[in-house]
Structure 1
Amino acid sequence: MVTEKCFAKGSPAPGPVPKGHIRLYSMRFCPFAQRTRLVLNAKGIKYETINIHLKEKPEWFLERNPLGLVPAIETETGEVVYESPITCDYLDEVYPQNKLLPSTPFGKAKQKMMLEYFSKVIPCFYKIVTAKKNGEDVSGPVDELTEKFDKMDKSLVKKKTKFFGGDSITMIDYMIWPWFERLESFDLKHLLDSTPELKQWYGRMCEDPAVKASAHSTDAHKAFFKSAFIDGKPDYDYGL
């Protein structure tokens, strides 16, 4: 069974994973789940999507993933893998086409170090969102995010490459992208004006087929953001 609308508490469990496919447990507007969708699309892996109501999670989903988080993937044999970097690394290892991670141990370690740095950037976005919601001064968290962007920009200048892993898109670019897709909906896209290399990276990413296949419009992001963070009633099925 393939669904776009989310499964909630009390809903029947989906049947077996279709032959030749991976099943992705997701939520349409989750940036972490988008990481896995990006990798699935970039590698041309056949998959079906089961969206989960994250406020009223189905009992059967909690049996598959005790953490109750998305993304998670399930194989034809019932193996379940969760946490976005782990699902993406798994897919890159199991499906050899269009490799996204470097082949050398040091190359992989460098990507993991970059991801560790970016994990410290993510909270900056939500500090700004929370401050706006509470009517607080956002200048502090905006300055913090600007500083992080400046370091990312300098990293690209130093590398002299089009993307963070080289002159073609690699795993780290997909791990970072979902938050940049949301910049405009957070009214933060103007921050890229002071980071020219990062702005060029942004433009190149927008042209990537996997990015286009996984994208939501700015209006859709804004609508979901309002339902989830302003109204406190996330509309997981917005637009369907």
Structure 2
Amino acid sequence: MNNDLTPQQGIILYSHPDDHYSHRIRLALAEKNVKYQLVLVDEFSEDVADLNPYNQLPTLVERQVRLYESHVILEYLDERYRQAKLLPDTPNLRAEQRQYAWRIEQDWMKLADILLRHPDTLDEQAANQARQSLGQSLVSLSPLFAHFPFFMSEQFGYNDCILAPLLWRLPQMKIHLPSAHCKPLLAYCKRLFERPAFIASLTESERHKQQYPLHR
């Protein structure tokens, strides 16, 4: 990451220091080896409010381009920077990966968002239900990860950028995967977390999130 860039010279990424939506963008940039200026924002920012009407993170600025939704940003980066492609070249395979991404958002990310809320706004009953649902879903779908080294693909791609930040936060969400039933998923996690780009994508806050193993 280069801290000497200006909006006219390259990318500025406004990112929360510990948010899986921001993390997926940092991971994509690291995989593509794109230099950028990282601005960490953990509360209301006038700079971000001036850039998008929702004052939400992540927000990416490159010259006259201002983007503030993670899927829009991921697709922009994949089209703008062609190295280390995240989506396949053919329309049918791209659509298939986008459909997987939509299902991940619907089935897993909504539950994760409940569990990753600030403790002051966390509904314990809703959190317990979300924790049980997400944990059971991951266990039941673990065999899916045995077929390919990455998510439904031979190569690291779009949905790995989405899943890696979520899976890294399982201990934070108090979800522990039973090793006897989740070997394919745990092996997938290991492949993701050992990638140099994933390590480079972590903020200091995120580096301390995995204080104990994913499995039990």
Please give the TM-score of this superposition, normalised by the length of structure 1: 0.74
Distance in 2 (alpha carbons) for counterparts of 1:126 and 1:96:
31
* Distance in 2, Cα, partners of 1:110 & 1:220: 34
C-alpha spacing 1:192/1:125, structure 2 compared with 1 (3 Å): farther
User: Does the residue aligned with 1:153 lie in a helix, a strand or coil?
Assistant: helix
- The residue number in structure 2 matching 1:36 is 25
In 2, Cα distance between the equivalents of 1:129 and 1:17?
Answer: 31
User: What's the secondary structure of 1:86's corresponding residue?
Assistant: helix
Give yes or no for contact 2:11–2:36 (8 Å, CA) kept in 1: yes
Cα RMSD for the two superposed structures = 2.8
For residue 45 of structure 2, what is the amino acid of its counterpart? Answer: K
Using the alignment, how far apart are the partners of 1:127 and 1:61 within structure 2?
24
SS in 2 for 1:190: coil
From the CA coordinates, give the structure whose radius of gyration is larger.
Answer: 1
Picking from 69, 79, 82, the partner of 2:68 is 82
For structure 1, the 5+ residue unaligned runs are 4-14, 224-240
- Cα separation, 2, equivalents of 1:84 and 1:192: 31
Instruction: Quickly say closer, same or farther: Cα 1:151–1:105, change in 2 above 3 A.
Output: farther
Instruction: Please give the alpha-carbon distance, in whole angstroms, between the structure 2 residues aligned to 1:29 and 1:92.
Output: 23
Percent of matched pairs sharing the same residue? 22
The 5 A counterparts of 1:81-100 are: 81-100=67-86
Q: 1:16 to 1:142 in 2, by over 3 A?
A: closer
1:69-110 CA-partner distances (Å, limit 9, x unpaired):
1111111x2211121111011001011111111101111111
Unpaired runs of 5+ residues, structure 2, are 212-216
Q: 2:53 aligns with which of 50, 62, 66?
A: 66
**Alignment partner of 1:176 is 2:166:** no
State the shift of 1:168 in Å. 2.1
Which residue of the partner structure matches residue 163 of structure 1? 150
What TM-score comes out, normalization by structure 2 length?
A: 0.82
CA distance in 1, matches of 2:85, 2:177: 33
How many equivalent pairs are there? 205
Q: How far does residue 146 in structure 1 lie from its aligned partner after superposition? A: 2.6
The 5 A counterparts of 1:102-181 are 102-119=88-105, 120-128=107-115, 136=125, 140-157=129-146, 160-181=147-168
Deviations 1:112-135 (A, max 9, x none): 1111111121232344567x9655
